[in-house]
Chains A and B, each alone.
Chain A
Amino acid sequence: MKLDVKELIKELSSLDGPSGYEKAVLELIEKKIEPLVDRVWYNKVGTLIAEKKGTGSGRLGIFAHADEVGYVVTKLEKGLFARLETIGGVDPKVIFAQRVKIYTAKGIAKGIVGVLPPHLQKEEHRSKVPSFDKIFVDLSCSELGEYVSVGDICVVDVKPVELNGKLCGKAMDNRAGCASLILAAQLLRNIRNYQDVYFVFSSQEEVTGLGAVSIAYELRLDRAIVVDVTHGDVKIPQFVQIKTGEGPALCVGPVIDKEFYSKLYQTAQRNNVKIQIEPAPGRSGTDTDEVQLSGTGVRTTLVSIPLMYMHTPVEVVDPRDVEETARLLALATTIE
């Protein structure tokens, strides 16, 4: 029953789970990971935890958020149109001319995010960048269009594809991370973990971070490794460029525990795990920031999978980076 990394990522990406509505994603993850661990359970605010007892002492949490960015219907307009609000940070430019799915009480309605055709565009339409106040969804192409209501959740309707061995689709942020945790759990069949390991598939990272911080408080972790994604193959002024295909990036900075980082780094070196180093001069913008501060403090590290075109429907990851991340996580559980 060995899991194939590409199939796993594609399966996870195909499911819809915007922040606060992760149930379908978590149910699949639960199915995949339950045979590999001692027990699984959900906390009160929608986070899935899988526990594997260790041979020694202490508690290590390994986090990946299960939610993705998405949209919610805010208002219905005459003629079967709807207005949207984002869940998480989404650039309005990337939703134009996309097919979308809306989860209504009666089933999934189809919609199209409309654009004025070039023939009818005035100069003002071409030059101004639209905001969500100007965007609308056309529901008239769906039999369930009339059942769309305020509060219904919406996602872009897209299936993952393979591009020269890389995977391209929505929600690679952070299904790639979730996949790496599941693969790590699989590797733990042959590696004895020292600390008790808690694989945490957290909710709502894209909006509030509630899922991670609540379970960190409850479990009173000693250490944590947060797995998320980072911008790959793009030049950001002042910053070193992280590349896809060269392994996960280890973060350095105030939100990273120096002692734990050092052991993680040495573990990677000793085992020839491909890694890159990514500086964060302040907050990292991931669950690491709040997990570090929970309770009396947690020794945190952040491992990021390089990803292109973040928060668009065509996010790209290299499955080799996901596998290398899984390997690093499994080895990290042997740190005493």
Chain B
Amino acid sequence: MIDLIRKLTEAYGPSGREEEVHNLILQELEGHVDGYKFDNVGNLLVWKAGTTGKKVLFDAHADEIGLVVTNIDERGFLRVESVGGVPPHSYVGHRVRFPNAIGVVYVEGETEEERKKNFTNLNLDNMFVDIGARNRDEAMKVVPIGSFGIYDSHFFKNGDLLISKSMDDRIGCAIIVEILRRVKKPRNTIIGSFTVQEEVGLIGASVAAYSLVPDVCVAVDVTDSSDYPKSFKRHSMALGKGPAIKIKDRASISNRGVVEKLIEVAEQEKIPYQMEVLTFGGTNAAALQRTRAGIPSATVSIATRYVHSPSEIVSLEDVENTVELLINYAGKGV
């Protein structure tokens, strides 16, 4: 699974430009699914038919946060705006990868005082990207207005810990791919939903379940891991405690019945798990549950340190336990 995670997290896929990620997923799923389709907004839906008539949908969003080029000045420096919740400080002095170029991000400041002020109040409005172009025309040829960029960051493994950009939510994608690879003959139909544009507004998840109408939706996404110095004091999630069964976040409350079933399955199969309450943020479950006449939905999360930074950290053991939990849930929890 490590190779799969590496390929997925290193892939280029900012919100609205998820093609490379989707193609990679299809390659990895070749021979493991009964069919696939792309819907009207570009979500990739795959399925593996079961025998009971019941359908469980596992969702992970394919997009990552990034930057979009909105202006280019006469000297060839790019102006950017955020795609999803980008913390500006994560980019200062670091690199952004566009399809045809790599740029360095830095901060304006004509005086020491202005520089200090800008660094304290970081904002993409007082930042710019340097791709080494000498003028606007040169820059336009390589990175036209409307180009999307992502963290230029790589995967590495440190014992049980896996570190890379966009564990949010390629780790979810990897988990669902692994489930579909391991389950040879599903009892209940398993639908894999690799949705678009979660980071800008849950766009993909708002329509992903509309045509296949599953009985249950489980979003697989990251959650905060609050086990580093002075991390969020009200959170109890940590690396190594197993898949996190989400009770609520700021966008939704997991369906009580689904939560109880997940706990039951985990206890039966002796899979470690932790309970999660997240005091900010949301997942695709919030949108999936509102499809048509309502679908019972929940989120199972991977505890992750430093979410939305270029170096998100997860525990491989947690990832493998999550695959186990969801395979068993798909088999007997629905």
- Chain B contacts for A214, CB-based, 8 A: 290, 292-294
- Chain A contacts for B245, CB-based, 8 A: 151
Given contacts A150-B275, A208-B286, contact A85 B248 (CB under 8 A): yes
Q: Is the interface of B mostly helix, strand, loop or mixed?
A: loop
**In whole Å, how far is A204's beta carbon from the nearest beta carbon of chain B?**
6
**In whole Å, how far is B250's beta carbon from the nearest beta carbon of chain A?**
9
Q: How many A-B residue pairs have CB under 8 A?
A: 90
Bound: A85/B275 CA distance, A: 14
**In whole Å, how far is A111's beta carbon from the nearest beta carbon of chain B?**
16
In the complex the two chains form, is A87's CB within 8 Å of B248's CB?
A: yes
Partner of B235, one of A19, A47, A75, A149: A75
Given contacts A44-B294, A151-B247, A210-B289, contact A20 B253 (CB under 8 A): yes
Asked if B144 is at the interface of the complex by the 8 Å CB criterion, the answer is no
Asked if B23 is at the interface of the complex by the 8 Å CB criterion, the answer is no
Bound: A46/B251 CA distance, A: 17
Given contacts A45-B255, A75-B235, A208-B252, contact A150 B277 (CB under 8 A): yes
In the complex the two chains form, is B234's CB within 8 Å of A74's CB?
A: yes
Asked if B198 is at the interface of the complex by the 8 Å CB criterion, the answer is no
- Chain B contacts for A133, CB-based, 8 A: 233-234
- The 8 A CB mask of B208-250 against A (1 = contact, 0 = none) is 0000000000000000000000000111100000000101100
In the complex the two chains form, is B247's CB within 8 Å of A45's CB?
A: no
Given contacts A44-B293, A150-B277, A207-B252, contact A72 B247 (CB under 8 A): yes
Bound: A151/B248 CA distance, A: 8
Asked if B279 is at the interface of the complex by the 8 Å CB criterion, the answer is yes
- Chain B contacts for A84, CB-based, 8 A: 234
Given contacts A151-B247, A214-B290, contact A44 B295 (CB under 8 A): yes
Asked if B84 is at the interface of the complex by the 8 Å CB criterion, the answer is no
Asked if B42 is at the interface of the complex by the 8 Å CB criterion, the answer is no
Given contacts A150-B275, A151-B277, contact A217 B253 (CB under 8 A): no
Asked if A132 is at the interface of the complex by the 8 Å CB criterion, the answer is yes
Within 8 A of B (CB), among A29-59: 43-47
Smallest CB-CB A-B distances: 3 pairs: A214-B294, A20-B253, A218-B293
Extra A-B contacts (12), CB below 8 Å, given A45-B289, A218-B292: A20-B254, A46-B256, A74-B234, A87-B253, A133-B233, A133-B234, A149-B275, A150-B275, A151-B245, A207-B253, A210-B289, A218-B294
